[in-house]
Structure 1
Amino acid sequence: MTAESEEPGTAQPESTASSGARTSFRPSARKGRGADTTSVAGLPIFCRARHFARGANVYNVPLWDLTSRWLPEELKAFSSVSSASSAKVAVVSADAGISRIAFQAALGAESDGEDPNPTAPKAGTYRGDDEDAPSDSDQSETGWEGPLGGESRVWSRAAVDGGLLLLRRVQAAALLLAAAEEGGAPAPSYGLGVSAALFSPEFIAEGADVSLDKRLAQILRTREPHFAVCALRSGHFAGAVFRGQEAIVHKAIHRYTVRAKAGGAQSSCDGGKTVKSVGSSLRRYGEVRLAEEIKELMTKTWAAELAACELVLVSVSNRMKSTLLGTEKEPFLPESAKVRKMPFMVGKPTFEAIREAYLRVACVTFADEKTAEVLAARFRPAPAKPAPVAEAAVKQAAPKIEAAPVKPYCEDEDELYTALHAAAAAEDEELITALLDDGANPCVRDGKGRVPYHLCYTQRTRDAFRRYRGSNEEEWDWGEARVPDGINDETDQKKREKEKDKNKRKKDKAKANKVQAKEEADEKLRKDEEERKMLEAAQSKCDSCSKPLVSKPFSRLSFLYCSPDCVKTHMRELQAEAAMKRFSGT
């Protein structure tokens, strides 16, 4: 299928890049010649179906797929701006509709080669291993906040797939002329966005439309971007130098530097304590070798390729930045202003990952007017809060309702607090029994809803209520009085017998455990003695004293001895025995 026959909104499959020394991306589509031609949706005609990102509803067009002379009408004035500071150009503002705003000497001091702010740090300057600088988890050192994004601004921030873009509202050229013929009605516009990594942090912090427009015109005039992309994380390094659709050189390195399962580099673990193990030694060696290989690659092998690059895009944490870029005193790249941190996360450093990151940076994003508003909505300034004076007036006008003071509870003033309550609280057992014998009601509640039994704090006072219940079970509703089962002489006897049986079982069990422990100890001693005798029987013994040989024996003829004395003693015994045999004639 040709580029002209593709329908917008239908994605076409892309070809996969090879991993050779020079790797090419998908061949660009045939470029049209109409610089101001727009599609039906108001977007440029080169926005094809293969560029459509369905999830974000935008078109990501690589720079090499743009037509050779295409440039938005608002940026054409910058295409003729040279180093002469007297050039006068006109810019079309999207906020002013069709009206043109003229300005004199665009970027005057900058075009003359002067730095308007010599004390400001250069774009992308490496500032050493600053622990307070943001890491990859913060998405970038590129500013996500600032003056961009106002309602009357043509520039705003936008986010597509987690990456920060700078989005400019551009009016479609054909629709722009139609709107002019209709009497100056505002023409429909679309959003044109490029990666924030292509802009210096100073431009983003300043947020001036003129500076951003000039830089955007330079980017859109580029058809073969010459960028280097490097990523380093968890012992994995991947880097490549790209020119247009080709990867001139690329390399991937992996070293064992991360602790398995526990995670984290070995150097970070060594900060608190010194670990001495085979694994830690291997990880320390891996970190040293990885740093040496990256330094040789950046300073020698790829020195010429990196020097010729327009930008060096990196994805690295602050702690590992010195490993990839060197220190402030000894940087690996002489032109540190070319170093930019990518405004999105990069996965595991591989050639495929950095190639995808390069494509994201080298693409121009096109979105219709509605989609552009959605992408930039989260970066719009928050609405102004109401004046604090009005809030104070509302607070003063509102009537103050004060809660009535709560009177503290006093038992002396409680009419429902009975003498039985007082006896239970005083832990007087005799008085409790006397009051119950006189007919005091144990079910009555005081002003706080408590029965007398609830005020008993000791076991003896509670037993006084239970003993009275044991002898007068039918007199009161003891369930309402919250008194447990009653106690009498019979229950006391059963309780004592139960306790006696429990103690007896406990003693019998302890005695049985003692007898069992003694039997187990005797059995263990018997087994140990048998094992010792078996071991002695299995061991070699001295032929003189018959003791077991526990060390290297002394040998003579076919005999073994435990000491030199045994050798001499046994030799004399053998000589004497031989002499006796000779004298006896046997």
Structure 2
Amino acid sequence: MEHVNVFSEKFQNVTSGAVHSVLLESADKEDPETNVTQNWSKSENSLSCRYCQIVFRDTQSQREHYKLDWHRYNLKQSLLSRNSISEEEFNEKTGNDDLSSISGSDSEKEDTLDTYAIAQGKIFLQNDKSEVFSMYRCLLFDRKEEVSDEILITRLKECCVTNKQWTILMLGGGHFAGAVFRNGEPILHKTFHCYTVRAGQGGSQSARDGKSGGAQPKSAGASLRRYNEQSLVQHVKSIVETWKSEIEESSLIIYRASGPYNRTVLFGGISPLLDRNNKKLRTIPFSTRRATFTEVKRVYNLLSTAALYDSLEKATESFSKQKSPEEDSKRNKVRSSCVNRAKSRETVERPLPTPLSSDSNSEPELNEIDAINENFNTIELSSKETEISFANLQEFDDSLTPEQRKRPKKKPRKSKTKKLREQEEARKKELCDILFRGDLTKLKHLIEEQSNCTISEESGTEKDAFVNKVIDENSNTLLHVAALNEHVDIVGYLLENNANPCLKNKNQQTAYTCTQSKDIRNFLKEFAKMNPDKFNYNKANIPTNSLTNEEITEKKKAQRKSKKEKEKVKKKESEIKKKEEEEKDRFLKLSDREKRALAAERRILSQSGTVTKRCFLCAEDIAGKIPFEYMGNLFCSIECLKAHRMQHPLILS
């Protein structure tokens, strides 16, 4: 037996000939006459039974036929991929009591290759070279589809040759895992977990709420699980929608959704994520573990692996050595830890390690043992005192000579990575020293060496990487260090050699913002003016709209002039305000009689112009307003009138 990947060239060479499904049996083979029924052509008429190969006159006779044991027997035979029998053969078997039950199997203990294939969900195929290979049936046929050579060949080409893209989705217990495989490699994959299963009791929170009716649990854990169920649906929906194009291109969509809740996540709702009627949908035909990415890859590897046999006999021999699935399931049953106290414990007789014999030969042996015990009891224990001297002890001789002792110990060898790291640190330290001293010639020499060491086509990129390299703990580049040390010539040389002024150090500072030198900043501004398209100077925090000295002086003159004009205007306003305050104070000091006289005088003087009126209490200007008049006095508001009356009450004689 040999395992072959269904996408490999070897598998395509195996399936290159005419492939057809074979009915394999490990026991007795049926007569060739019965194989004629395997090729029975399907009638297009709906009044027919494809399991028993008969046609009916009307629907009533068809319904009665479905109730017969003969039909049930042939139905079970088809599930075991065996040939159907005629009604006469069925009557003969039932008359001779050859059928113990209408189960479709002649003997319960008979284990055929078909039994293992059906139990494992596989199908056996054979090509023109008599090579037999087995693969999972779900890859080629749906549960409701019937096995046929035409569909078989087309599905093999679609799934394994033309379109090698499969989608696998697994959902259960709040765990989701999905991946899209193309030619054996995952091009898309995603896993996540939400707390939706009740600890200790199992089951989803929605199922618990459905059983409880209106009295739903209101604990913190229950509300958290309800929220996580909604978020799980949203997560799965967003993932499937983003993968929609890749899923539609896949030749197979294999899923595992255990339980009604998980199936509603994929197939429920007004607009379900997956269509149940999609012919690409397949379920995983074997048990799986928790939904993780490793489990998805394991499922993909199992489904995409086919077992190859040289001949039909070798396939039969290999499967005949295996145990039947029913026996394995019975033997592999785990004994439960719970003990049923109602049942009495079974007594198991176990053999003794040395069985006792009632022969005469055993008596001498017993006598010998008794004699040994008597002798042991008569033994007397004796003790003696001895003195031990340490006078002959000598110092331990040293095997090493003085020359050997003076030899220095060998230092452990350094690894290549450690050596490279130390060399890189030494280079960085050397660059920092050169920039600190401002040695431009040494810096030019290093940059030219770096550009000459690389290939001519890639020298530009390698040189740029060297110029923009980080050389200290604060993530400062060569340009940062040169700007901090105020070396204008080095800054200019680095900018000409594509040193990027937009790079930031650990403190998020560029070469312009990290220095306080005006010379460096002015030089960077002039460089930005001369080379406006070389770098993004907004990102480098370099102001590009800087002015010349003449423009700066003119701008300062204009600012001084505007400042003087503003000061003049403010001075005039303050003078006017001051005069108004003086007028108010002078008017308030007058008596009511003087106020009336002044008002009359002003009315006479200003007959041709505007008349100035003021409130008799607060001296507010009421020109153009309708005043409140009382006893010949004018007021701006009723409050002033009331206050004036309180100050000057009427005296009745």
**Length-normalised TM-score, structure 2:** 0.34
Question: Per residue, is there more helix in 1 or in 2?
Answer: 2
Question: Per residue, is there more strand in 1 or in 2?
Answer: 1
**Length-normalised TM-score, structure 1:** 0.37
* Rg larger for: 2
**Higher RCO, 1 vs 2 (CA within 8 Å, ≥6 residues apart):** 1
